[in-house]
Structure 1
């Protein structure tokens, strides 16, 4: 995807979030979702010849590239469990249901159908549909009434909807040990929720960010110690970024680098 800018001094990541879906399905030997963009090149090169047979996608909400640039030390648990660092540009409007629909369809909002902050079931073809057709078993672990709990329903797959991020992460660890699924997607809303309330750099928001980093590292540890013989692609994969607004709270949804530029991390664990 060509680098875009609506102002001369604004820099946007050259790789698009639309390229993640086809990379996930390729890693598991399945065809891409029917309307997905081509797989993002760095991730495809990374997974090439890795013989991956399981994917775990950890999805923290609203973790912007600028947070990594400014609070790099807080990402240390992620960096120590990552082999590929991948800056990406998300889609507009940069809000949760739109962006996760893009991540898991590989399509832009005009194709997958969610163009605003609402949570209908996505009718476009998804990573989950493509894997089910290939005989694979995906699942989603999410919280409450959040977007990841809603927009991918009505598929022949399992959904584990819990109350808190900690419960979601504990459930994900349990499922990894049980070794029943080829794709596990684990959603955590805690940074986003705190960011909206106290601002992206408020202490409670930064505590949640550190919690997300630790949760990813713990999933990596669980995968390493599970002893079930897989080669697992693990991703730290947020949906969009964020910025501070008047009054010291946080928001997102605009065509600005703070909202559009995100960062993913990936590793393969044997």
Structure 2
């Protein structure tokens, strides 16, 4: 299987600037405004007037960068736009038609069709479904039409208003209290409005565990020779229940299932993996979205812990996890037909086990997540990818057993997050995102046990450390999942 190239790593980072909602909004607004005024670029007064107009909206850009408006909060974004249209001049309809046209072209065709066709082989006709996914998506990405539209329309409306004033009246004559005070008051009101909304309505974040891991003493001797974690990226819990997945469901029935396993917030892949394998929250490990501004986690990972006792771990994953976990990632290309992606990943996992024989392996299966993003999580194609993962994992475990690698191995199956309706959005814990499938199986794991108490994915790292006789990562806060251990009967 092809390894990830430097170009792909850089391209993935650039793409996240357009995928994540926070950077997308200012990039899109700037691009649309400059494109609309393309013919004026040779006029020196354009740049001074446009620059001063941009200065006028910078505080609003900062507010919309700091405050997300996902889920039902996005409905409140239309009120500032209506208020602005009552305060200032009528809209320049050509500018807004251009903005709306470019937005839907970018999301529905360039992203939903062209990009996914080149990257994972989605049909050239994907736009016939993707438009519905963009309208439904509730998460704060660029593909959330109901959040992005009122944001960029408001910003363009005010920018165009002040640009026109500066062009007609001149910059010096426009800086009067009569012109500026309405904007100052409006911006302050938008900030207060955003603050009050988030203070009173943004209340769905999971509670955090206080203190460090302490519910089980660190083990001096390992309970297992190996631990293998298979993460089916983006697998919804309810869709897994609907899927025909006999092997995984048999593992679950003969192991220990945690029925209320909660992901972290925000439920982005890089954030979730960072929390799973450090045992702590984004505020500590420093990874807060898929757009990683400062490379590398800020705390110890389970891979660091294993090195302290002379053991080796590998994370088999696509390019964007390198930004968080660095050299512990065995990178794979994400540019391949989605029908082949998980097959190729399992083939690479076999090669790693055969050539490197790590004590700890994590394999990220990506086809389910990519189907959710490109075709939607509530359609048959998504469930079929879960069923394909079941067959591939069954084949991989059989391959391991034939080589004697499962005799004293714990197998952990989970998802990093679920997926919501729309473009398989995830991050802000809409329905289908928050709770994930999670179960363990192996000779040291209790059989037929269901644990219904709420748990968190931050327990993965300390549990792996416990099973392999390694110290807990430095900032590990998740409790060890001792309920599953036969030694605690």
| TM bucket, shorter chain | 0.7 to 0.9
Structure 1's consecutive aligned runs of 4 or more residues displaced over 3 angstroms after TM superposition are 35-39
CA contact (8 A) 2:342 2:389 kept: no
User: Structure 2 regions of 5+ residues with no counterpart?
Assistant: 1-203, 335-340, 445-489
| 1:55-99 Cα deviation digits (max 9, x unpaired) | 111111111222234x1x423220223412223001111111111
**CA shift in 2, pair 1:138/1:50, >3 Å:** closer
- Please report how far the alpha carbon of residue 36 of structure 1 lies from its aligned counterpart in structure 2 after TM superposition: 5.9
Partner of 2:332: 161
CA contact (8 A) 1:52 1:230 kept: no
For the pair shown, which has the larger CA radius of gyration, 1 or 2? Answer: 2
CA contact (8 A) 2:282 2:288 kept: yes
Q: How many angstroms apart in 2 are the aligned matches of 1:58 and 1:267?
A: 12
The 5 A counterparts of 1:91-110 are 91-110=264-283
Give the TM-score, by structure 1 length: 0.73
Which structure exhibits the higher relative contact order, with contacts defined as CA atoms closer than 8 Å and separated by 6 or more residues? Answer: 1
1:182 paired to 2:359: yes
User: Structure 1 regions of 5+ residues with no counterpart?
Assistant: 1-11, 19-34
Partner of 1:215: 392
Picking from 416, 423, 429, the partner of 1:255 is 429
User: Number of matched residues?
Assistant: 225
Partner of 2:225: 53
Q: How many angstroms apart in 2 are the aligned matches of 1:113 and 1:257?
A: 26
CA contact (8 A) 2:240 2:386 kept: no
Q: How many angstroms apart in 2 are the aligned matches of 1:53 and 1:106?
A: 21
Q: How many angstroms apart in 1 are the aligned matches of 2:391 and 2:419?
A: 21
- Please report how far the alpha carbon of residue 223 of structure 1 lies from its aligned counterpart in structure 2 after TM superposition: 2.0
Indicate the RMSD between aligned Cα atoms, in angstroms. Answer: 3.0
- Higher share of residues assigned strand: 1
Q: How many angstroms apart in 1 are the aligned matches of 2:223 and 2:291?
A: 37
The 5 A counterparts of 1:135-146 are 135-143=310-318, 145-146=319-320
CA contact (8 A) 1:36 1:106 kept: no
Secondary structure of 2:433 counterpart: helix
Q: How many angstroms apart in 2 are the aligned matches of 1:114 and 1:177?
A: 32
Picking from 227, 231, 238, the partner of 1:66 is 238
Give the TM-score, by structure 2 length: 0.42
- Please report how far the alpha carbon of residue 269 of structure 1 lies from its aligned counterpart in structure 2 after TM superposition: 5.7
